Amino acid sequence: MREVKVLGVGCAKCEKLFENVKQAAEEVGVEIALEKVTDISKIMGFGVMITPALVVDGEVKAAGKVLSVEQIKELLTKDE
């Protein structure tokens, strides 16, 4: 199971990234533990200054942009 976090304060881009992650995991059949992190201090704890951001297994994979479903699929299936 992959641990995935979407970091953001709840803006439209953050919501879109969250939905894209759910869709990507479903399409590739990867089981994920998905969490939305909205607490600014927790977000900054990842070293992220611009949201939305995507964290996979504790590592920041993207910040400041909404990844496409295809991009997220690649990240979820890498190193499996």
Count Cβ atoms below 10 Å from residue 29 Cβ, excluding itself.
Answer: 8
14 catalytically annotated: yes
Answer yes or no: are the C-beta atoms of 8 and 39 closer than 8 Å. no
pLDDT at residue 80, as a whole number: 53
Domain spans in the chain, listed from the N-terminal domain onward:
2-62
Nearest C-alpha neighbor of 21 from the set 39, 3, 9: 3
Catalytic annotation, pick one of 6, 14, 17, 24: 14
pLDDT at residue 78, as a whole number: 85
Report the C-alpha gap between 25 and 41 in whole angstroms. Answer: 27
SS3 of 3, please? strand
Per-residue pLDDT of the chain (80 residues; tens, 9 = 90+): 999 999 999 899 999 999 999 999 999 999 999 999 999 999 999 999 999 999 999 999 999 999 999 999 999 998 65
One of 3.40.1180.10, 3.90.1300.10, 2.40.10.340, 3.40.30.10 is the CATH number of 2-62, namely: 3.40.30.10
Catalytic annotation, pick one of 3, 9, 11, 50: 11
